[in-house]
Amino acid sequence: MPDAEDELDFTKRLIRAIRDSDWGAGGWFDAFRSKLPDDMELVLKTSLLELKAKNFDWRRPAEELEMLLKGADAQTLLLIDELPLLIGSIVHLDPEGTRAERFLLWLKRLREQYQPRWFFAGSIGLDSVARRLRLSGTIHDLQLIELGAFSPEKARKYLTLRGNFHDWHLNQETVEAILHAVEWPIPYYLNLVLEELRDVVNEGRGKPTPLLVEHAVARLVVHGRTHFDHWDERLQKLLEPGFSSRCETILGMASRGEHGILIATIELRLSQEISNYAERLRVVRHLLDFLISDGYLTRHEDTVQFRSDLLRRYWREVQG
């Protein structure tokens, strides 16, 4: 639910998803519809179900949602995508964090009382968001599972097989050029480069080579910004203005060189805004914790750098 706007929108979308699932077929839905409160009405559009609020209060439909969950068992899996973005939207509406805490506690209670198994997926870590808001107690029952990148060996095999699919022979130098350009070998980035490389090859520029890989990457960074803009946009959606602007400052500094930037240099830059040394160290630690846990940066001793050189080049292009 990456574009859910608030608690009611989240609840509506979850009910709609249940309605469209195999589990949603049967008598439970008729029972649910008959018990809707007076300030809610059903709106049927083709095969989709929507709840339309006449008098907004998300807690009322939330209670009705719980009625649905009572009919599920441990074989029912609920996958919630990009919940941190919704939490960010709620925090923008209530910067004190009271609404976000109430919402997360409600979800925690649902997990504790009902049998369905909950999975929260997303490009942003729910754990880092909860820590920033000092709400870690609302998710302590969840187990963190990180889907990492391919190992170098698996990435090379993957690229070779994808090349064979396009009737290419990717030699070792070309494969290594792609891995160097991507640096963080997740399938999404590998495919972005391969698809751009395919366009370059189809334009008649010859067989895949390290030189064509560089040409494809340069073109991808400049003209394929829709593939990367979410990295920038989610800072605005998820974070309060002061926090997001400092994140952007750090990312701008780190984007200027392949080998990143010294943490001491970041601290020096922020000394212009935060004169107290202890407070400045706390803020820097907080900022880097977020940027590292959510995949922007990685740390090597006293230096931080972009996890992906592809993302670094995009960020440098954005910064102008």
What per-residue confidence (pLDDT) applies to 56? 47
pLDDT band at 43 (very low <50, low <70, confident <90, very high): very low
Instruction: Check pLDDT > 60 for residue 44.
Output: no
Helices (H), the chain: 7-20, 27-34, 59-69, 83-93, 98-113, 126-132, 152-165, 172-182, 187-200, 210-223, 229-238, 241-254, 263-270, 277-293, 309-319
What pLDDT, in 10s, does the model give residues 245-302? 999 999 999 999 888 999 999 999 999 899 999 999 999 998 998 899 888 999 998 9
What per-residue confidence (pLDDT) applies to 277? 93
Residue positions counted in the chain: 320
Give domain limits for the chain: 7-138, 152-226, 230-306
For domain 230-306, give its CATH number from 3.30.70, 1.10.10, 1.10.3470, 3.40.50. Answer: 1.10.10
Helices (H), 44-134: 59-69, 83-93, 98-113, 126-132
